[in-house]
Amino acid sequence: MEFVDKAFARRLEATEEVPQVHHARLYQKLYPEVNAAAEEICGGHMVFAGVGSPIGRAVGLGFDGPVSSADFDRLEQFYRSRGAAAQVDVCPLTDPALIEMLKTRGYSMTELNNVLYHGLQPNEPTPEIPEGVNIWPADYEQAGIAADISSRSFFPEGNPPEEFHRWITCSRCSGMRPCLNSVDAGFNPHWCKLDCGQQKKQVWTWLQL
Q: Is residue 123, in this structure, part of any structural domain at all?
A: no
CA–CA distance, 115 with 9 (Å, rounded to integer): 10
Domains identified in the chain, total number: 2
Q: Is residue 42, in this structure, part of any structural domain at all?
A: yes
Q: How many other C-beta atoms lie within 10 A of the C-beta of residue 194?
A: 17
Residues 15 and 95 in one domain: yes
Q: Is residue 112, in this structure, part of any structural domain at all?
A: no
* Range from 2-6, 23-27, 159-163 carrying the lowest mean pLDDT: 159-163
Taking residues 11-23, report their average pLDDT: 89
Q: How many other C-beta atoms lie within 10 A of the C-beta of residue 120?
A: 11
Taking residues 24-43, report their average pLDDT: 92
Average confidence score pLDDT of the chain:
79
Q: Is residue 144, in this structure, part of any structural domain at all?
A: yes
Instruction: Supply the pLDDT for residue 44.
Output: 95
Q: Which domain holds residue 156?
A: 133-205
* Range from 34-48, 50-64, 143-157 carrying the lowest mean pLDDT: 143-157
Q: Is residue 127, in this structure, part of any structural domain at all?
A: no
3-class SS at 91? coil
Residues 70 and 143 in one domain: no
Instruction: Supply the pLDDT for residue 1.
Output: 56
Q: Is residue 49, in this structure, part of any structural domain at all?
A: yes
3-class SS at 193? strand
Does residue 207 carry a pLDDT above 60?
no
3-class SS at 178? strand
Q: Is residue 159, in this structure, part of any structural domain at all?
A: yes
Q: CA 87, 203, 140: angle at the middle one, nearest 5?
A: 90
Q: Is residue 12, in this structure, part of any structural domain at all?
A: yes
Phi, psi (5° rounding) for residue 52?
Answer: 90, -5
Residues 63 and 140 in one domain: no
Tell me the sheet residues that pair with 42. Answer: none
Residues 90 and 176 in one domain: no
CA–CA distance, 98 with 104 (Å, rounded to integer): 10
Q: Give the chain's length.
A: 209
**Tens digit of each residue's pLDDT (9 = 90 or more) over 145-184:** 777 777 777 788 877 776 676 665 555 555 566 677 777 6
> CATH code at 181?
3.40.630.30
Higher pLDDT, 13 or 168: 13
Does residue 193 carry a pLDDT above 60?
no
**Tens digit of each residue's pLDDT (9 = 90 or more) over 77-118:** 999 999 999 999 999 999 898 999 999 999 998 888 888 887
Does residue 23 carry a pLDDT above 80?
yes
CA–CA distance, 138 with 150 (Å, rounded to integer): 15
Higher pLDDT, 7 or 145: 7
Phi, psi (5° rounding) for residue 64?
Answer: -95, -5
Does residue 139 carry a pLDDT above 90?
no
Range with the largest mean pLDDT of 17-31, 46-60, 68-82: 68-82
- Domain boundary residue among 53, 85, 104? 104
Residues 11 and 90 in one domain: yes
Q: Residue 74 carries which DSSP code?
A: H
Going from the C-alpha of 190 to that of each of 27, 108, 119, 181, 206, the distances in angstroms are: 21, 31, 20, 8, 7
Range with the largest mean pLDDT of 12-26, 63-77, 110-124, 161-175: 63-77
Residues 99 and 148 in one domain: no
Does residue 16 carry a pLDDT above 80?
yes
- Domain boundary residue among 87, 104, 121? 104
Phi, psi (5° rounding) for residue 72?
Answer: -70, -35
Residues 6 or more apart in contact with residue 42 via CB below 8 angstroms: 61, 62, 64, 65, 67, 71
Residues 12 and 100 in one domain: yes
Residues 88 and 162 in one domain: no
Q: Band the pLDDT of 35: cuts 50, 70, 90.
A: very high
